[in-house]
Structure formats: structure tokens, C-alpha cells
């Protein structure tokens, strides 16, 4: 990596990275990452979390420095804003609305819809839609708004990414399955209730709290921006 990511276990604890789900929801394969229980909630071993996060960041740095692509996926309501902001700041594609089935496995069809969206936008900007009635233009405006919600984050994704970073594997499991089928590497925060084997680079951590996810996403952002500068 271009520089140390400065992972600090105390800072991670302050951000609440160490809080998993209730004990009853523990996935058996997450046991090695758990250090204890507090108020009936599984607590992550932050030394292990830091170790896995370091591996994930090293991989992110490698692919970015090689000019390869990564897409951020985070559709949990509370995380949409921070995932989108980080993606825009890093200059990478993102999905923060509902995952559209086929985004990876039926990429050509999705690309056609993106092209249609961009074409409609261009026609509105150049005044080509002015020839239509007021009612028809209103319909076009609504359609553009709908398409923008779906495709704005992937409008410049010309090809399948080399990796996907998922913030909340339970919510975006369809994305992970599609990535697996297409050979796209999966980096993901894995909370105590999910199977970490799905991810190539699992980061055992709280994937619900904004503060916890912000800690991780900021480390990813630093890594991407540093790696782009040193390419």
C-alpha cells in the first residue's frame, strides 16, 4: 500500500465496529471472529477484524494500482448516503438503491438500459424533447428520474468490475451470488449473522451502525485515493 492504513483497535471500538448481532443469530462460521458476549450480543475480536481489514485494504490497493475496477454496493437505508458519497469521492461506480438482478450476470441488457437513460437525458438537455406535448415531456421527466435512481451510480461502468465491495452481505446477497458466478472478487463487511465464506476478503464487523461502517469506508477511501496517486 502507498502508506500505512493506521488501523487502531481503540478507534474501532469507539466507532462500534465490534458489536455483532444477538447471540441467537450467530452464524457458526463466524465463531472464530468472536471474542465474547455483552448484553446478549456477540462481540468481535478487533485484533482479528483489523487483520482481515488490512488484507482487504491491501487487495484494494493492488487492484487500484493495477488500473482495475471496483464497485461499491450498499443498499441498507442508513448506509446509502455514506456509501454513495465515498464512491463519488473515489470516482468508482456504486449501487445504493435496490440491487437490480442481472447487473453482473446480464450485463449487456443492463448496459442497454443505461444507454437509453443517458440518451433520454441528452435529448432533454439539447431540447430534442421540446417537440412533444407538455404532458409527454412530463412523462419523459418522470421516466428519467426513475432511471436515474436505478442507474446513476453505474452510468460510467463500461465493463464488469474486477471487484465488488459490499456493505451488508445479508441485504445484498444477490449481488454476491452474481459476483461469484462472474468471477468478480468479493470484499465485504460480514456481520456475525452471515457466512463469511461467501466473501474472498471478509471483514468481520458491525454492518448496521453508520459510525462503524464509516470507519471502514474511510479506510477504503484513503487506500483508493492513495493508490490512484501512486499508480
CATH of the domain at 131: 1.10.287
Report the candidate in 181, 19, 192, 52 with the shortest Cα–Cα distance to residue 105: 181
Cβ contact 50:217 at 8 Å: no
Question: If you compute the radius of gyration of the chain from its CA atoms, what whole number of angstroms results?
Answer: 19
Judging by beta carbons within 10 Å of its beta carbon (0-12, 13-18, 19+), is residue 169 exposed, middle or buried?
buried
Is the residue at 148 inside a domain?
yes
132 with 35, same domain?
no
Q: Which domain holds residue 62?
A: 9-104+160-229
**What is the model's pLDDT at position 231?**
59
126 with 179, same domain?
no
pLDDT tens-digit readout, 52-105: 999 999 999 999 999 999 999 999 999 999 999 999 999 999 999 999 999 999
pTM of the complete model: 0.92
Task: Answer yes or no: is pLDDT of 1 > 60.
Answer: no
**What is the model's pLDDT at position 4?**
44
134 with 41, same domain?
no
C-alpha span between 158 and 65 (Å, rounded): 19
Total number of domains constituting the chain:
2
Mean pLDDT, the chain, whole residue set:
93
Amino acid at each position: 500500500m502507498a502508506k500505512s492504513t493506521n488501523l487502531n483497535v481503540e478507534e474501532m471500538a469507539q466507532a462500534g465496529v465490534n458489536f455483532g448481532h444477538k447471540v441467537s443469530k450467530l452464524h457458526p462460521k463466524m465463531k472464530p471472529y468472536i471474542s465474547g458476549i455483552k448484553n446478549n450480543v456477540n462481540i468481535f475480536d478487533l485484533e482479528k477484524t483489523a487483520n482481515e481489514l488490512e488484507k482487504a485494504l491491501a487487495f484494494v490497493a493492488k487492484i487500484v494500482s493495477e488500473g482495475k475496477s471496483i464497485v461499491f454496493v450498499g443498499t441498507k437505508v442508513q448506509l446509502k448516503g455514506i456509501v454513495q458519497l465515498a464512491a463519488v469521492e473515489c470516482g468508482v461506480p456504486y449501487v445504493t438503491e435496490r440491487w437490480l438482478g442481472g447487473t453482473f450476470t446480464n450485463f449487456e441488457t443492463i448496459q442497454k438500459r443505461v444507454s437509453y437513460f443517458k440518451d433520454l437525458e441528452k435529448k432533454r438537455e439539447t431540447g430534442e424533447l421540446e417537440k412533444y406535448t407538455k404532458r409527454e415531456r412530463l412523462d419523459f421527466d418522470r421516466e428519467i428520474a426513475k432511471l436515474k435512481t436505478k442507474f446513476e451510480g453505474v452510468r460510467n461502468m463500461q465493463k464488469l468490475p474486477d471487484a465488488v465491495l459490499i456493505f451488508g452481505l445479508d441485504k445484498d446477497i444477490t449481488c454476491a451470488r452474481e459476483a461469484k458466478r462472474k468471477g468478480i472478487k468479493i470484499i465485504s463487511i460480514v456481520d456475525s449473522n452471515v457466512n463469511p465464506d461467501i466473501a474472498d476478503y471478509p471483514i468481520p464487523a458491525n454492518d448496521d451502525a453508520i459510525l462503524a461502517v464509516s470507519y471502514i469506508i474511510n479506510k477504503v477511501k484513503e487506500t483508493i485515493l492513495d493508490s490512484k496517486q501512486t499508480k
